[in-house]
Amino acid sequence: MDHIFEITDKTGRKIRLTKKQWTHITSPTSPHAYMTNYLEEIKETLINPDKMVNSLSDDQKVNYYKYYKKRERYLKNIVNYLNGNGFVISAYFVKSIN
């Protein structure tokens, strides 16, 4: 198995987080290394986002946002869709939806 999880988002599309991308996101040298402790929140944001925003720069990318009160931030998951399959390419907390 080459992925950490596969879920179905609220629009019925399948999204995967690969082991390779998870290692990239949580690498000690990554600015998002703190995400190691937020795997369940990443899933929840994909399954039940507060808002989904299509990327302005790439029509194959969708940003999923969900507010987490304990962090006082939105979790932003960036998903790239290729041939109908979604892949998480990044995940991190932001102050606002953009």
Three-state secondary structure readout of 11-30: CCCEEEEEHHHHHHHHCCCC
pLDDT over 80 at 87, yes or no: yes
Per-residue pLDDT at 1: 61
User: How does pLDDT run across 3-56, given as a tens digit for each residue?
Assistant: 999 999 988 999 999 999 999 999 999 999 999 999 999 999 999 999 999 998
pLDDT for res 98: 81
Residue range of the domain that includes 60: 3-94
Number of domains in the chain: 1
pLDDT of residue 83: 87
38 φ, ψ (degrees, to nearest 5) = -125, 30
Q: Is the pTM of this model over 0.85?
A: yes
